[in-house]
């Protein structure tokens, strides 16, 4: 039996990942900015809402499929873009993309992924692929990334707007965590304490951020710390630039990292097809509001003009129901599948999706609803 098959919750996958990874690597995935108030707040926000179940309804058959960006999705769920996955599991990006393909849900590839735009298109086809672009100081490089995504038939471009500079991730500072690795005495001991992980890195080589190859970037800067990846990103990036990107990109445009209703309206007027209410999983602005708390006003502000998604703190099927009841069309998950892949590769990522799907179905049955379209504010205690 594979290790991940014994995990019954996302939290148990997290514990397995923690056991397998060196402390510095686990903390990079698990951690947030500064005091991690927003990281904790994302999670805590879910417990402030209560579902009011209805009973004696036939819930023998439940359907969890929905539409996202006008196409069928087998779950109201997509994989959030996350960088540096290969440092947790060699080939981890492709492993998660394959799990998403098996589940027939969209997969978001990060600019700072450890698999290239083309490799994902090749290995995860025919799943739905979204490419997340950061706007770099080197604009020509960003344009080239966007063109590559277009050439590789990515359905949507995700522009992440909550990272004008990198967040202050203090766990990384304390752990001397950097990409590429810095081999300080502390790190060598830490890496050696997880021989299975260290062996995989030795045998296959330390991964690289393939999409950034050719850029004079942190990936080539031995003094860079992971939490300062923002140094390549352009803090002058603004609404005019977003408009320019909208004009260049033929596919769907998703703007990720919105918290304010005015910004939501502006992104819509500029031609966004979808928004992600997000604070980057608590890794950027600390003391920022929980994503779930920002959701209802944004959903109300933009109405049906675009699809509103949310991420941050989704660890349970009931979280998905709560988010949808508060106006989201779908949720994105970051750490849930990251913990799974770090625990057990593709089997672990798939296990994370199995758990969330199973919990979603069970929650719907316990609430007396048989389809996603039946989820609404009436399910919540007012």
Ligand X SMILES: Cc1cc2nc3c(=O)[nH]c(=O)nc-3n(C[C@H](O)[C@H](O)[C@H](O)COP(=O)(O)O)c2cc1C
Which residues of the chain form contacts with ligand X (CB under 6 A)?
29, 42, 80-83, 110, 112, 132, 160, 256, 278, 280-281, 283, 311-314, 333-336, 338
How far is it, in rounded angstroms, from Cα 153 to Cα 175?
39
| Shortest distance (Å) from residue 282 CB to ligand X | 7
| Shortest distance (Å) from residue 333 CB to ligand X | 5
**Positions marked catalytic:** 280
| Shortest distance (Å) from residue 240 CB to ligand X | 21
**Residue 25 vs 369, nearer CB to ligand X:** 25
**Residue 42 vs 73, nearer CB to ligand X:** 42
Question: Residue 348 annotated as binding?
Answer: no
**Residue 41 vs 81, nearer CB to ligand X:** 81
Question: Residue 32 annotated as binding?
Answer: no
**Residue 32 vs 370, nearer CB to ligand X:** 32
How many angstroms separate the Cα of 154 from the Cα of each of 86, 130, 131, 233, 347? Answer: 21, 6, 6, 22, 25
Question: Residue 256 annotated as binding?
Answer: yes
Closest residue to ligand X, based on beta-carbon distance? 334
How far is it, in rounded angstroms, from Cα 340 to Cα 349?
4
| Shortest distance (Å) from residue 171 CB to ligand X | 11
| Shortest distance (Å) from residue 217 CB to ligand X | 13
Question: Residue 193 annotated as binding?
Answer: no
102, 22, 20: which is closest to 357 by C-alpha? Answer: 102
**Residue 86 vs 327, nearer CB to ligand X:** 86
Question: Residue 73 annotated as binding?
Answer: no
Given a contact cutoff of 8 angstroms between Cβ atoms, the answer to whether 80 and 333 are in contact is: yes
Question: Residue 265 annotated as binding?
Answer: no
Give the residue ranges of the annotated binding site.
Answer: 81-83, 110, 132, 134, 160, 169, 256, 278, 280, 283, 311-315, 334-335
Give the residue ranges of the annotated binding site for glyoxylate.
Answer: 132, 134, 169, 280, 283
């Amino acid at each position: 039996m594979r290790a991940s098959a014994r995990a019954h919750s996302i939290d148990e996958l997290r514990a397995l990942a923690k056991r397998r990874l060196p402390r510095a690597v686990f903390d990079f995935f698990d951690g947030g900015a500064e005091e991690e108030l927003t990281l904790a707040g994302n999670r805590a926000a879910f417990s402030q809402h209560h579902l009011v179940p209805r009973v004696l309804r036939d819930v023998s058959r439940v359907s969890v499929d929905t539409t996202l960006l006008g196409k069928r999705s087998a779950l109201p769920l997509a994989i959030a873009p996350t960088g540096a996955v290969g440092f947790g599991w060699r080939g981890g990006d492709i492993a998660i993309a394959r799990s998403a393909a098996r589940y027939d849900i969209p997969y978001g590839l990060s600019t700072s992924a450890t698999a290239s735009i083309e490799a994902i298109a090749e290995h995860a086809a025919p799943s739905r692929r979204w490419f997340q672009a950061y706007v770099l100081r080197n604009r020509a490089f960003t344009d080239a990334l966007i063109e590559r995504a277009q050439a590789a038939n990515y359905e949507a471009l995700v522009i992440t707007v909550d990272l004008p500079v990198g967040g202050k991730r203090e766990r990384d500072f304390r752990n001397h965590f950097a990409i590429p690795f810095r081999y300080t005495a502390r790190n060598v001991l830490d890496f050696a304490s997880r021989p299975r992980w260290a062996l995989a890195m030795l045998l296959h080589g330390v991964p690289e951020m393939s999409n950034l190859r050719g850029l004079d970037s942190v990936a080539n800067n031995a003094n860079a710390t992971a939490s300062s990846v923002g140094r390549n990103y352009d803090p002058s990036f603004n609404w005019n630039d977003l408009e320019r990107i909208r004009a260049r990109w033929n596919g769907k445009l998703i703007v990720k990292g919105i918290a304010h209703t005015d910004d939501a309206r502006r992104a819509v007027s500029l031609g966004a097809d979808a928004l992600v209410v997000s604070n980057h999983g608590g890794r950027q602005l600390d003391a920022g509001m929980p994503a779930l708390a920002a959701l209802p006003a944004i959903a109300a502000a933009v109405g049906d003009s675009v699809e509103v998604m949310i991420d941050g703190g989704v660890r349970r099927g009931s979280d998905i129901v709560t988010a949808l009841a508060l106006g989201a069309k779908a949720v994105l998950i970051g750490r849930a599948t990251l913990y799974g892949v770090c625990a057990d590769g593709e089997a672990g990522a798939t296990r994370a999706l199995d758990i969330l799907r199973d919990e979603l179905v069970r929650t719907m049955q316990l609430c007396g609803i048989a389809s996603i379209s039946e989820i609404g504010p009436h399910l919540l205690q007012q």
